[in-house]
């Protein structure tokens, strides 16, 4: 799709491409996209806006991340919504809520306001407890508690996890809970 000298597409090679016609191009694998958000208008943002964050392994001059914001004209809103749904659903690219941004990106430090409550991300499931099915003689019988890293923690890599990641996490925890280790 194209508007005002800008093109947004998924290429035949499977790359997310953002192109400013006559100025520059950013191409990246969807797996390098740590979040892709479609922001509605707010008190501090008069129109719709796309917010992409990319993380690249290595990189020139130590630059490993890229953050791109793009204004979306009203005529393109429906097409952009469909495009973003493909990224979220088919490529498991998460939609990072604005309130989970690092402090340096918080409203006032950049542009944007909080996400409406209707767009809030569900809380992560409680920690799972995995107990050995039949512990060997002399082995410790204490349950091993596995916990998820809390959102907002320094150790958190992506927030929120994509739907497929949540399904994988639940499946692995279920298999661990019912295994014969």
Tell me the mean pLDDT per 10 residues along the chain, length 181. 93 93 92 91 89 81 80 94 91 77 43 34 40 47 59 60 76 76 53
What is the rounded (10 degree) CA torsion for 7, 18, 97, 85? 60
Query: What pLDDT score was predicted for residue 61?
Result: 63
Query: What pLDDT score was predicted for residue 108?
Result: 41
Number of domains in the chain: 2
Q: Cα-flanking dihedrals φ and ψ of residue 151, to 5°?
A: -60, 145
Instruction: Give the whole-angstrom CA distance, residue 102 versus residue 108.
Output: 12
* 109 and 147 assigned to the same domain: no
Domain of 21, CATH number, reads 2.30.29
**Alpha carbon separation from 67 to 31, 36, 70, 84, 109 (Å, rounded):** 15, 10, 10, 16, 14
* 111 and 53 assigned to the same domain: yes
* 100 and 128 assigned to the same domain: no
Reduced to 3 states (helix: H, G, I; strand: E, B; else coil), residue 156 is coil
Residue 18 is part of which domain span? 2-115
What is the rounded (10 degree) CA torsion for 161, 163, 169, 175? 180
* 96 and 49 assigned to the same domain: yes
Q: Cα-flanking dihedrals φ and ψ of residue 118, to 5°?
A: -65, -20
* 82 and 156 assigned to the same domain: no
* 93 and 25 assigned to the same domain: yes
């Amino acid at each position: 799709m194209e508007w005002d000298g800008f093109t947004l597409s998924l290429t035949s090679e499977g790359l997310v491409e953002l192109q400013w016609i006559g100025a520059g191009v950013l191409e990246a694998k969807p797996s390098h996209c740590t979040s892709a958000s479609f922001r509605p208008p707010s008190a501090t943002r008069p129109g719709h806006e796309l917010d992409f964050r990319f993380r690249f392994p290595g990189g020139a001059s130590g630059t490993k991340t890229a953050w791109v914001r793009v204004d979306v004209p009203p005529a393109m809103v429906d097409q952009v919504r469909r495009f973003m749904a493909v990224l979220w659903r088919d490529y498991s690219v998460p939609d990072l809520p604005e309130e989970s941004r690092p402090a340096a990106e918080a409203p006032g430090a950049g542009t944007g306001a909080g996400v409406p409550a209707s767009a809030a991300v569900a809380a992560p499931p409680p920690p799972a407890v995995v107990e050995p099915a039949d512990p060997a003689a002399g082995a410790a019988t204490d349950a091993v508690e596995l916990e998820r890293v809390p959102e907002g923690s320094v150790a958190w890599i992506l927030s929120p996890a994509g739907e497929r990641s949540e399904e994988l996490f639940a499946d692995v925890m279920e298999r661990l809970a019912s295994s014969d280790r």
